[in-house]
């Protein structure tokens, strides 16, 4: 059944322009909504850490019970998220085909607002609720990275930011390294004396052609799609070449092993070609995997059963804010809100799932509340 208020809120936020580092317009609206909910609201300085205009929005709602739960979603969206014109067809919301829809992650924002409103309206005693609307998620989890989890009271959290139908929870995600290589050769006239040159482009091609990449094993992948050379003329031996990519694994040891292999491989090929090498390895985030008997999933399971949802727990393939919170000791899972094909123009949101996501959020809060003592 259509929840008109939730639908209006969704359309209003989808059509409010936002991007990573440009979240102010959404944040201004959400700040008012959080205050209306009775939250104490602060904005931190996360924006300054990545050149963004705006920090994370943190809303704290004190409760009657002795316990705290964190709820989060992100305010930014991938590019092509300006001027969105949502179109409803047969119970599914799409963009008009020229942009993304941004249900990733506005549907999550709306699920949290609706869930907390409903939980408050129920009149039941509630735990403390810590709401984080983060910035810069899509470009590098910058908002979550700026949060010091020790300043929060919650030790479990739900990130409403996962694709799929309602009842799907994401309990694991890979860790990731960014890997960048720059090779320096020696220029020489390509016609007169090519043997005096050292071809950096050729070394790069050899390096990549003999590198293990793509699907490495069931838990691990590597991808190097960004290649360039410093050359602008065809008659000079290439003296500068560089490439960038990433490696991911759900198994930290396998990830570390691949990075060590990558470094040894690149150094060996560089030596063979006589090129100089500069190699950068940046640990972007760590993998996580939450066991099914952890409280955060037990609450999710019980809440799903109360609502008659098809409860399922799956491991995701991308990094998310949960990677950052789990690394700091807060057990955090992803919650699906009904969107699929996110990050593309074909992104869609199943409205029945979306309308029930508010109820799911409410039920998660109330189920967690059952485990909390009175103060």
| Minimum distance from residue 113 beta carbon to Zn ion (Å) | 17
Comparison of 81 and 175: residue with beta carbon closer to Zn ion:
81
Can 96 be counted among the known catalytic residues?
Answer: no
From 45-53, 105-113, 177-185, 268-276, span contacting Zn ion (CB under 5 A): 105-113
Can 76 be counted among the known catalytic residues?
Answer: yes
Comparison of 134 and 304: residue with beta carbon closer to Zn ion:
134
Residue 135 half-sphere exposure, CB side, CA atoms within 13 Å?
29
How far apart CA 305 and CA 298 sit, in angstroms, is 11
Other Cβ atoms less than 10 A from the Cβ of 80: the count is 16
Bridge partners of 65, per DSSP, are: 374
Instruction: Single out the residue of 23, 76, 104, 114 in contact with Zn ion (rule: CB under 5 A).
Output: 104
Q: How far is CA 213 from CA 256, 259, 269, in A?
A: 15, 11, 16
What tokens appear for 346 in the block? 């074909």
From 50-58, 92-100, 156-164, 215-223, span contacting Zn ion (CB under 5 A): 156-164
Comparison of 105 and 130: residue with beta carbon closer to Zn ion:
105
* Residue 114 near Zn ion by CB under 5 A: no
Pairing of β 348-350 and β 312-315: unpaired
From 97-105, 120-128, 167-175, 292-300, span contacting Zn ion (CB under 5 A): 97-105
76, 161, 199, 353: the active-site residue = 76
How far apart CA 130 and CA 112 sit, in angstroms, is 11
Bridge partners of 173, per DSSP, are: 288
| Minimum distance from residue 340 beta carbon to Zn ion (Å) | 12
Residue 198 DSSP code: B
* Residue 347 near Zn ion by CB under 5 A: no
* Residue 105 near Zn ion by CB under 5 A: yes
How far apart CA 115 and CA 112 sit, in angstroms, is 5
- 107 by DSSP, 3-state: which? helix
Comparison of 131 and 241: residue with beta carbon closer to Zn ion:
131
* Residue 23 near Zn ion by CB under 5 A: no
Question: H or E element: which one contains 261?
Answer: helix 252-273
Closest CA to 318 of 284, 353, 295: 284
| Minimum distance from residue 326 beta carbon to Zn ion (Å) | 16
| Minimum distance from residue 137 beta carbon to Zn ion (Å) | 6
Q: Give the orientation angle of helix 252-273 with respect to helix 200-209, to 10 degrees.
A: 140
Bridge partners of 41, per DSSP, are: 59
104, 105, 114, 137: the active-site residue = 137
Length of the chain: 375
Comparison of 230 and 318: residue with beta carbon closer to Zn ion:
318
* Residue 161 near Zn ion by CB under 5 A: yes
From 100-108, 123-131, 180-188, 216-224, span contacting Zn ion (CB under 5 A): 100-108
* Residue 76 near Zn ion by CB under 5 A: no
Closest CA to 351 of 339, 336, 335, 342: 339
| Minimum distance from residue 342 beta carbon to Zn ion (Å) | 7
| Minimum distance from residue 280 beta carbon to Zn ion (Å) | 26
**Count residues contacting Zn ion (CB under 5 A)?**
3
Residues that bind Zn ion (CB under 5 A): 104-105, 161
Where in the sequence numbering do the catalytic residues fall?
76, 137
């Amino acid at each position: 059944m259509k929840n008109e208020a939730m639908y209006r809120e969704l359309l209003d936020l989808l059509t409010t322009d936002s991007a990573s580092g440009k979240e102010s317009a959404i944040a201004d609206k959400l700040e008012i909504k959080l205050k209306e909910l009775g939250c104490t609201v602060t904005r931190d300085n996360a924006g300054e850490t990545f050149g963004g205009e705006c920090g994370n929005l943190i809303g704290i709602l004190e409760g009657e019970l002795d316990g705290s739960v964190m709820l989060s979603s992100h305010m930014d969206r991938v590019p092509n998220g300006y001027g969105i014109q949502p179109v409803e067809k047969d119970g599914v919301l799409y963009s008009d085909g020229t942009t993304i829809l941004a249900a990733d992650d506005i549907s999550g924002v709306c699920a949290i607002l609706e869930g907390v409103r409903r939980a408050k309206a129920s009149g039941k005693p509630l735990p403390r609720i810590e709401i984080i609307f983060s910035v810069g998620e899509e470009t590098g989890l910058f908002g979550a990275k700026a949060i010091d989890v020790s300043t929060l009271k919650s030790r479990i959290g739900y990130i409403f930011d996962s694709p799929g139908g309602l009842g799907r929870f994401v309990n694991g995600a890979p860790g990731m390294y960014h890997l960048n290589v720059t090779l320096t050769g020696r220029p020489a006239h390509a016609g007169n004396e090519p043997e005096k040159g050292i071809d950096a482009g050729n070394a790069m091609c050899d390096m990549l052609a003999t590198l293990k990449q793509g699907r490495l094993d069931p838990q691990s992948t590597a991808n190097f799609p960004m290649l360039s050379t410093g050359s602008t003329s065809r008659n000079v031996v290439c003296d500068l070449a560089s490439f960038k990519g990433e490696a991911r694994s759900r198994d930290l040891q396998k990830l570390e092993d691949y990075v060590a292999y990558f470094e040894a491989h690149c150094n060996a090929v560089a030596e063979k070609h006589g090129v100089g090498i500069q190699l950068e390895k940046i640990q972007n985030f760590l993998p996580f995997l939450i066991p099914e008997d952890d409280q955060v999933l037990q609450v999710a399971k019980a809440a799903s059963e109360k609502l008659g949802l098809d409860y399922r727990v799956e491991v995701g393939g991308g990094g998310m804010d949960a990677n950052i919170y789990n690394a700091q000791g807060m057990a955090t899972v992803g919650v699906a809100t009904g969107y699929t094909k996110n990050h593309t123009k074909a992104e869609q949101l199943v409205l029945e799932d979306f309308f029930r996501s508010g109820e799911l959020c409410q039920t998660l809060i109330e189920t967690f509340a059952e485990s909390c003592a009175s103060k």
